[in-house]
Amino acid sequence: MDTRLQTPRGTTDYLPEESYNRRIAEDSFRRTFELWGYQEIRTPTFEFFQVLATGTGAELEDSMFKFQDKSGRLLALRAEMTASIARVVGTQLLNEPKPIRLWYIANMFRYDEPQAGRQREFWQAGVELVGSDKIQADIEVVALMTQALRNICLKDVRVDVGHVGIFKEIMKEARLNADIVNAIRVSIDKKDSEGLEKTLNTEQIDEQTKQILRALLESRGGVEVLDKISSLVDNQKITDIINNLKKVLLELQGFGVSEEFVTVDLGIIRGLDYYTGVVFEAYVPDLGIAIGGGGRYDGLIGDFASFEIPATGFAIGIDRCIMALEKQKFQYPDKVKASVLILPVSKEMNIEVNKIANKLREDGITVEAEISGWSVSKGLSYANKMKIPYVIIVGEEEYRSKAVVVKAMSAEKQDQVKIKELTNFLKEKT
């Protein structure tokens, strides 16, 4: 294998057309986040491993690209942004008025097994809403994630909403050891009822807890799912959580996210440890994997500061959005190509060509200048292949009378246009 001719597994080159399509989605995310009052934040691509590993848990830690600097300190490429933003808030933004609304679009790195929708370098667009422990903050971020996905023209965006507090509370009451809790967690997450039964049968777990855990595994649906759990438990914390989730379902409707697009799933257990409250994931039916996910993390910022600051947020996987748009046969607007190619008739006219090109660019017209010493006919053939609609030919004779020739490639037609009228002439046409 000649590594000079390849990129590492799980990384991709994005050629101009694909980069353009991605740019459209990214611009849309940016606009949506800013319309909701969020401000951009950028953090380093690599940081001390200890920062990036704070609160994220073993799964993400294992997937980090780690390396040492020359002094032997352990660094890593960021695998997600939330820990970095928690560090920034905990060290630099503590005195800012709350809530703080932040957004980012950045590349992330995870040593995952590459497959469809799973790369080792991938892009996320996300937000963090810092400083509110109110359910309205959770509702805002779920609504914003849905709106951001709808605004890139994804159809049928669905959200699964759960709450890690229910499982945690049940496990706290059951007092099981960490390995058993993890086995139960994995079975519920994978909706693996056989696996769950196996674990439940080998352990000293009371009947009522078993019943609740079975119900959690099956808890996917509408508000009735919440009522079912409610009828099984006698725990004030869980009752409060359920009432809050009911509020989420109800108030999302005010954001145009009606019940048909929201599924309660109390089995959602996200792959990151820092979550403490409402958690959610976004899907479109055309793609079997989550295109976005997030949730509340009220303890993470406190790991970087002397007190706790509640927060919630999400990240959308841009690569998965692009895949979903392709599956939904989304038609991207035509790529903006240069609208003008400018050619000198002879190399003596090069300076004039560049003067005219620069003036047109200042006026907002996209101009490609000929640099290869081509003949006019070669230039015209290039414009034809590149679908450039207008060619300006700068000849000595016309230039002396302060004019150039403008050729419309679609109609076998050319006009002599005064240089000072060139911008208006082209703007009327393009």
What does the binding site for ligand HAM look like in residue numbers (CB under 6 A)? Answer: 80-82, 110, 112, 117-119, 122, 124, 126, 128, 271-272, 290-295, 297, 313-315, 317, 319-320
> Which DSSP symbol is given to 113?
-
Query: Nearer to ligand HAM by C-beta: 123 or 167?
Result: 123
Q: Judging by beta carbons within 10 Å of its beta carbon (0-12, 13-18, 19+), is residue 360 exposed, middle or buried? A: buried
The total of other beta-carbon atoms located within 10 Å of residue 36's CB is 17
What are the φ/ψ torsions at residue 393 (nearest 5 degrees)? -110, 120
What is the rounded CA–CA span in Å between residue 123 and residue 105?
A: 7
**Smallest gap, in angstroms, from Cβ of residue 303 to ligand HAM?**
14
**Smallest gap, in angstroms, from Cβ of residue 72 to ligand HAM?**
28
Query: Nearer to ligand HAM by C-beta: 252 or 343?
Result: 252
Q: Which residue is nearest to ligand HAM (CB)?
A: 317
| Residue 388, both tokens | 């450039």
Tell me if 398 sits within 8 A of 373, measured CB to CB. Answer: no
What is the rounded CA–CA span in Å between residue 69 and residue 71?
A: 5
What is the rounded CA–CA span in Å between residue 293 and residue 291?
A: 7
Query: Nearer to ligand HAM by C-beta: 117 or 389?
Result: 117
CA–CA distances in Å: residue 414 to residues 339, 389, 395, 406, 429: 15, 12, 14, 5, 13
What is the rounded CA–CA span in Å between residue 171 and residue 188?
A: 13
**Smallest gap, in angstroms, from Cβ of residue 426 to ligand HAM?**
42
Give me the DSSP letters along 303-323: GTSSS---EEEEEEEHHHHHH
Tell me if 25 sits within 8 A of 325, measured CB to CB. Answer: yes
Query: Nearer to ligand HAM by C-beta: 272 or 365?
Result: 272
Residue in 326, 356, 328, 329 with CA at minimum distance from that of residue 341: 356
**Smallest gap, in angstroms, from Cβ of residue 46 to ligand HAM?**
17
Tell me if 82 sits within 8 A of 128, measured CB to CB. Answer: yes
Query: Nearer to ligand HAM by C-beta: 318 or 349?
Result: 318
**Smallest gap, in angstroms, from Cβ of residue 164 to ligand HAM?**
12
3 state DSSP class of 389: coil
3 state DSSP class of 371: coil
Name residue 327's amino acid.
K
Query: Nearer to ligand HAM by C-beta: 304 or 314?
Result: 314
Query: Nearer to ligand HAM by C-beta: 162 or 344?
Result: 162
Query: Nearer to ligand HAM by C-beta: 81 or 356?
Result: 81
**Smallest gap, in angstroms, from Cβ of residue 322 to ligand HAM?**
10
**Smallest gap, in angstroms, from Cβ of residue 54 to ligand HAM?**
12
Query: Nearer to ligand HAM by C-beta: 123 or 390?
Result: 123
What are the φ/ψ torsions at residue 280 (nearest 5 degrees)? -155, 160
Q: Which residue has the tokens 């609504």?
A: 143
Q: What is the CA radius of gyration of the chain?
A: 28
**Smallest gap, in angstroms, from Cβ of residue 84 to ligand HAM?**
10
Query: Nearer to ligand HAM by C-beta: 81 or 422?
Result: 81
Name residue 288's amino acid.
G
**Backbone conformation region of residue 256, classed left if phi is above 0, alpha if psi is from -120 to 50, else beta:** left
**Smallest gap, in angstroms, from Cβ of residue 75 to ligand HAM?**
19
What are the φ/ψ torsions at residue 273 (nearest 5 degrees)? -80, -20
**Smallest gap, in angstroms, from Cβ of residue 109 to ligand HAM?**
9
What is the rounded CA–CA span in Å between residue 373 and residue 297?
A: 61
Query: Nearer to ligand HAM by C-beta: 25 or 345?
Result: 25
**Smallest gap, in angstroms, from Cβ of residue 59 to ligand HAM?**
9
